[in-house]
Amino acid sequence: TWGQAAPWGRAPLCLVPDGTFDWQGDRPLRLPWSETIIYELHVRGFTRHPSARVEHPGTYLGLVEKIPYLRRLGITAVELLPVFEFDENANPFQDPVSRQPLKDLWGYNPLAFFAPKAAYAADRAPGGAVREFKAMVLALHRAGIEVILDVVFNHTGHIAPRLPVLAPVDNRIHYLVDSASGAYRDLTGCGNTLACQQPVVRQLILDCLRYWVLEMHVDGFRFDLASIFYRGAQGQVLPASPLAEEIAADPLLAHTKIIAEPWDAAGLYQVGSFGGHPAWAEWNGRFRDDVRAFLCGQGNGAADLATRLAGSSDLYAVSGRRPTSSINFITCHDGFTLQDLVSYNRKHNQANGEGNRDGTDHNLSWNSGAEGPSRSHRVLRLRARRLKTLAAILFLAQGVPMFPAGDEFGRSQDGNNNPYCQDNPTGWVDWELAGRNRHLTRFFRLLIDLRHRHPVLRRQTFFPPQGEISWHGLAGPPNWAPYNRCLAAHLQGAASKPRDADFFFACNCDPRAQTFLLPPPPAGQIWTQLLDTAATPPADICRESEAEALGHERGLRVASMAAVLLISQSRRS
C-alpha cells in the first residue's frame, strides 16, 4: 500500500504470478515513428488529484479511465515514468514547513526489475499488480495507444541498510566499485552505478526487457541516463557499448521503440551519437535547449531554430539515421512545465527539503515580466502567447514530438523544477485546469490533428538540399546572425512524396511585431491562415475548412513572441 512501510524480512518478497491472463488476441501496435506522438505521464500523479474524478485514483485502472481523454487529444503513445517496484519511503528529506517525511514519488530507484509497482494497483490480491498492468496495456492497445516504459538500468535503490535482502549477490560484479576501497562509484548522482559492461548484468537487463515485451506486451522503452552503458569498470568512457548494440540487435526487441536519454550525471553527453545503430532514437536535448534559447533571446538565433525545425540533420544524418531518430521535447518530467517555463526565471525548489540546491539552474526560461503568479493581463497574455508559440514549434518540427501530461492545459508546479518528492498537488495533474483552460487543450488537439493529417509535417527522410523547404527572413533570405529572432519556413508539399499542401510558418521572437514577405502559393491556390498564437481564442487556431483566405497583401504581420501558420488551399467559389 502506498506510503506504508514495507515489511522487509517479515513477509514474502517474491511472487511468481499465474500466466492465465486472457490477452484476447492482443498484438503489438508497431506504429511507425513518423506517426508517433508521445505523452509522458506518472501513473500515480496522473489521476491522484481529486479533480481527476476517477474510481481508482493513482492506479493503472485510473489511467484506463482517462483513455477517452487521451484519444480525443490525439496522442499515440504513453511513456510511463518508472513502474518497477521501488520504496517510496526511502527519501531521507523532510518538508521544511511541516517537517513530515517526503516521498520518492517518481520511482527512479528500482528494487525489482521484473515487478510492476504494487501500490499503483487497485487490485490488492496477490499478483494483482501484474493482472492490472496487463489490463491497462490491453485497454490502451485497443484505443490505438502504445505503452513505453521509462526504465532505470543505470543504478538501483539498493543502498539503504534496511534493503539488503533485495540486493544483488556481489557488489563487485553488479556495480562499479573502487578497486581499493570497495565503495560505489557514483556516476548517476543516485549513490551507485550498475556495471553494464559485465556479461551477467547485460544478461539481466536483456532478460528483463524481453519479459516486459513478451509477458506484459509493452511497446518500447526509454532508457534513463543511458550513457552509463558506455562506462567501463573504472568509470572510463568506452568507444562502444555491447549492451546498446545487443538491445538494438535482439530479435525479440526488434520491433519495439528504444529511446536513449543520451547523457549521464558525470558529464558524458552523446546526443546524436548514442548506440551506433539506426534502431536507437534519442531524447534530443539540443532541440529543447535551442528552442528555449530562441524564445529567450539567447543561443545562436535563427540558425539553431532552423536546424531543429528541419529534423536535426546535424546530429543524425551523419550516422545514417532519420529525423525520427530525434525525440523532440521542450519540457518533460525533469524540469519546468511549459507553463512554468514562461512564468519563472529561476527554480523554486524549497519544498524539496534540500535548501533549493537540487534541480538544474540551467533553465533557459523567461518569466514574461513577473516571477510566478501574476494578475497583470499584459503578463498573462504574453505567457499564453509564448506557450502556444512553443507548442507550435514542437508539433511543426520534423522528428517525434513528446510532451508531459498537463502541458496541454497549463499545468504548473509553482516553479519547482525537480518535484520528484512532491506526492501532493504540486506533483499531481490538476484536472480542473483542463476545464478552465479548455481553449489551450483545443489548441494542442488541433495542432496534433494537423500533424496527423499532413505527411509533410512528419517526414521520414531529411529535406533535400533544394526544392522542398526554403528559409525566409523579413524581406528575403534569413538573417543568420545570432541576434536575429525572426525566421520563416516554406514547406513545399507539392514537391514532396506523398504530395501535400504547402505551409508557411513564421516565428517572431523579436520584442516588436514584424512583417514577413510572403512567397507565392502554388499555382491556382491561395494562402489561408490556420493559426496565430497572438490571437484571442478561438481565433488562435482553426481547422482547414474554417481557415480564412489572406487578401492580396504580400506581407504577413506577426506579433512579438508569436507564430503564424499558413496553408495553401484551392480557391473557393
Q: Is the dihedral of CA 524, 528, 530, 531 positive or negative?
A: positive
Residues designated as active site: 224, 261
- In 3D space, the residue among 283, 199, 277, 204 whose CA is nearest the CA of residue 245 turns out to be 277
Rounded CA separation 144/153 (Å): 28
The SS3 of residue 259 is strand
Taking a C-beta distance cutoff of 8 angstroms, is the pair 344, 319 a contact? no
In this structure, the chain runs to a length of: 573
Cβ neighbours, 10 Å, residue 528: 21
Buried b or exposed e, range 311-324, using 16+ CB within 10 angstroms: bbbebbbeeebbbb
Residue with cell 512545465: 337
Q: Where are the alpha helices (DSSP H) in 40-118?
A: 43-47, 60-65, 67-73
- In 3D space, the residue among 422, 419, 394, 418 whose CA is nearest the CA of residue 408 turns out to be 394
Taking a C-beta distance cutoff of 8 angstroms, is the pair 274, 262 a contact? yes
- In 3D space, the residue among 412, 385, 411, 556 whose CA is nearest the CA of residue 487 turns out to be 556
User: Residue 523 carries which side chain, given as an amino acid letter?
Assistant: A
Q: How far is CA 273 from CA 109, 262, 281, 387, in A?
A: 27, 8, 10, 30
Rounded CA separation 269/107 (Å): 24
Angle (CA) 194 196 202, round 5°: 120
Taking a C-beta distance cutoff of 8 angstroms, is the pair 528, 549 a contact? yes
